Structure 1
């Protein structure tokens, strides 16, 4: 099987490549990645001789067409995905998430290639903290940021191409991922590397915003389950029942690193900050038989901390630039 992985040098995509090669030696992988700031080719160094890494833009229609023509399956991870960045400049989110997806869909349509589209639970908006419900495949889209709105738009493009052109495609919407090789601008690795660097973690607003955490390996195992057993044209939600509020996450990181649980600072909340995400993955589990392996968030978080502590050469070169981007935008409160 020849698999084209877009965004395969980013966090989830690179973990998908590493896990696939470890578990499926018969799979040949081509990675298409623009190698923006969020990608790190060092993540793929251990498998460099087993993949074809193509540096390019997913919105480059001619390049995409050539790569898709040589593939049996396309797995589309490539996306601009950081909410803060989408608020500062939405243009790259429109270009990558919408125009890039359009280029892929047209190539897949021309060459009749199986396509799987990676999306996010953020397309559904948010839930109240005391709401007993969770997102399902039937939940209406209600995005609240340039990031989530462009991801919602890309999902709708896939659905339209399935209905209008008979595309052999599936979609998955996943909850928040954590694990090794995640860019340190993201919430969990930023807090971990702050503590390791002797910097107090920062917590938006009151810290009660809830995210539904899933280990990246569980996510990628679910993606393969959908590729192999999912019904064409359908959407599947991927989640591991990992609802935890941001304050608890920071306190747990501090405790696991031997620091006082209150050794963090509250900073001003970001605009449009979604309150709670929660995924109901019943359909994926009952119809396709997938089950998460990382059921204890605390132990998964501990393993993730161990990885960042053991791999400073991977993240330290980027730490100063990341924190410089936040300088002046986070006012300590309380």
Structure 2
């Protein structure tokens, strides 16, 4: 019997890629999304427009579509915004997860893949961070993701829920132009947006304790990330399964290096402006991916050039056609 997975936030940038990867693996998918940031044009599977805070509606969706498991992506994710609006983040990322877990328990749906974040680590004092590194988030966004992991772990102990929490690092690129990142909160689309407006991109902070003074991050191609969800699902067959995985490339790039790659791929001259550091931004976070490599046989296949190049090709023609 074919499994059917409910993807919360499945009309979003990452969610749409996860849906396609599920289908490529032979599973069926149903999307639930409130379309606050998602795009319905990305959805080609059964769709329910709703907020997952509506426990009764979520439970009805689980029953009606005979859902096998849930991939939970719906969440707010802007670090700076979370510093200004912590109550919103706790409501959207923690309370809504509680509602989802309640609906799953009522319907006896016992498999969950959770979208967590490298933000749970906070300031990192090592070249790479492993899953057993102390979790000391320094912003409300990271705190809500860590609390989400705790909620899921405790619900698993109480009910036998099988789960995998995927700690995403910085996501970039696209598998198809129509699935490109429409937001302007991730670094690569932020740079593209500045170029489209005829402005120079802003680097937030140039005095970090890193080789060039700008933040260093591990970037992961969105298709690799989507494939990691499918690999994680395969690890949930055994009773009592409970996993936490870093999902990254295991290589760090500074913000300045990423902007230089955008300049190289686009053929445009870019002289970024250095602004003030953003509250809640750690200087460096790079994944140790040994655990996911060994346990799931998964590893990232795309490098930074491929991420930036695929994202550039997905840009509006009037921008990508310009060369200066």
Residue of structure 2 aligned with 1:90, choices 76, 86, 91: 86
* Aligned equivalents of 1:310, 1:9: Cα separation in 2: 23
Residue of structure 2 aligned with 1:258, choices 267, 283, 293: 267
Alignment correspondent of 1:197: 197
Residues 92-140 of structure 1, C-alpha deviation per residue, up to 9 Å, x if partnerless?
2111110111111122223222111111111111224xx33x2222122
Q: State the 1:272 CA deviation.
A: 2.3
Residue of structure 1 aligned with 2:234, choices 217, 225, 228: 228
Q: State the 1:282 CA deviation.
A: 0.8
Alignment correspondent of 1:118: 115
Structure 2 length normalisation: TM-score? 0.87
* Aligned equivalents of 1:167, 1:20: Cα separation in 2: 21
Answer whether contact 2:203 2:214 (CA < 8 A) is retained: no
Which ranges in structure 1 are unaligned for 5 or more consecutive residues? Answer: 313-334
SS state at 1:137 partner: coil
Alignment correspondent of 1:324: none
Structure 1 residue 76 corresponds to structure 2 residue 72 = yes
Q: Which has the higher helix share?
A: 1
Query: How well do the aligned residues superpose, as a CA RMSD in angstroms?
Result: 1.9
Residue of structure 1 aligned with 2:313, choices 286, 299, 306: 306
Structure 1 outlier segments of 4+, above 3 Å: 309-312
Aligned residues: 300
Structure 1 residue 156 corresponds to structure 2 residue 150 = yes
Structure 1 residue 40 corresponds to structure 2 residue 39 = yes
SS state at 1:3 partner: strand
SS state at 2:284 partner: coil
Alignment correspondent of 2:322: none
* Aligned equivalents of 2:278, 2:294: Cα separation in 1: 37
Residues 138-186 of structure 1, C-alpha deviation per residue, up to 9 Å, x if partnerless?
1221111111111111111001111122212221112111123221232
Residues 19-42 of structure 1, C-alpha deviation per residue, up to 9 Å, x if partnerless?
333x13x43221111111x22223
* Aligned equivalents of 2:309, 2:96: Cα separation in 1: 36
Alignment correspondent of 2:135: 141
Alignment correspondent of 1:242: 251
Q: State the 1:10 CA deviation.
A: 1.3
* Aligned equivalents of 2:97, 2:289: Cα separation in 1: 25
Q: Which moved more, 1:239-248 or 1:193-202?
A: 193-202
Which ranges in structure 2 are unaligned for 5 or more consecutive residues? Answer: 175-179, 207-212, 320-324
